[in-house]
Amino acid sequence: MAKILVIEDESRVAELLKRGLEESEHAVKIADGVSAGLNLFLKEVFDVIISDVMLPDGSGFELCRKIRENNETIPILMLTALGTTDDKLEGFDSGADDYMVKPFDFRELDARINILLKHHQTFSADKIEYADLRIDLRTKSVFRGDVYIVLTPKEYNLLLFFVRNSERVLSRTEIAEKVWDTHFDTGTNFIDVYINYLRKKIDKNFETKLIHTKPGMGFIFSHENTH
């Protein structure tokens, strides 16, 4: 299942896309323009973006360029009534991965989405992105936006565990067993100490906090305020 952002101002087309994609077991969010689409993209994590070219408040090509400024790898598929070679080239130049001309067969759209997802998973095997956090698995480099963050090996492993289990409450016991390979001693606070180290480096100087404490339960890694 993929989480898909559909940017389409024609409500009938948007609803057909939503229904068809949900029948293929995808989760779908709809935006009706460039501004709404960009806002949703910046707030939530998506696996694929499908965008019309002709939008009421601007061009899907321009939206594509803005998305690429924040995320170089997310698959983007453009939908449009414009089918000339020049239009397609502009779409690819703006950063789109694929292009379909309306009207289209939904089965073909579904197949193309699956191909984009497989390619993205292969392409991203050495990189993890979450909100504005980026981890290069080959070099073990960590960035928030353009800011390079220096982590110790243990802090890096802790961050990796958080990112791979984002949006899920993690108990101190689970963190100790999975990151430290040890049973959690309730008489010590070493988990909290390391999480505070990590917070100072990846959250302190950034507006959006990623590590949140859930009193009595543990911690959750999320770009949304979970309180």
Which domains are assigned to the chain?
Answer: 3-123 (3.40.50.2300), 127-221 (1.10.10.10)
HSE, CB side, 13 Å, CA atoms: give it for residue 28: 21
pTM here? Answer: 0.56
What confidence score (pLDDT) does residue 176 get?
87
What confidence score (pLDDT) does residue 58 get?
92
Q: Is the pLDDT of residue 226 over 60?
A: no
DSSP letter (8 states) at residue 179: I
Rounded CA-CA distance 63/117 in Å is 20
211: left (phi over 0), alpha (psi -120 to 50) or beta: beta
Rounded CA-CA distance 53/62 in Å is 9
Rounded CA-CA distance 176/174 in Å is 5
Q: Is the pLDDT of residue 122 over 60?
A: no
Contact 160, 141 (CB under 8 A): no
Element (H, E) at 142: strand 141-144
Count of C-beta atoms within a 10 Å radius of residue 189: 12
Q: Is the pLDDT of residue 182 over 60?
A: yes
Q: Is the pLDDT of residue 84 over 70?
A: no
Rounded CA-CA distance 221/111 in Å is 32
Closest by Cα among 44, 198, 179, 147 to 213? 198
pLDDT tens figures, 25-77: 899 999 999 999 999 998 888 889 999 999 999 999 999 999 988 887 889 99
Over residues 160-188, the mean pLDDT reads: 83
> Where does the pLDDT of residue 217 fall: very low under 50, low under 70, confident under 90, or very high at 90 and above?
very high
What confidence score (pLDDT) does residue 213 get?
95
> Rounded to 5 degrees, what are φ and ψ at 129?
-125, 135
Round the average pLDDT of the chain to a whole number and report it: 87
What confidence score (pLDDT) does residue 16 get?
92
3-state secondary structure of 223: coil
Rounded CA-CA distance 118/96 in Å is 16
Over residues 85-95, the mean pLDDT reads: 73
List the beta bridge partners of residue 59: 54
HSE, CB side, 13 Å, CA atoms: give it for residue 93: 7
- The DSSP code sequence of 21-77 is HHHTT-EEEEESSHHHHHHHHHHS--SEEEEESEETTEEHHHHHHHHHHH-SSS-EE
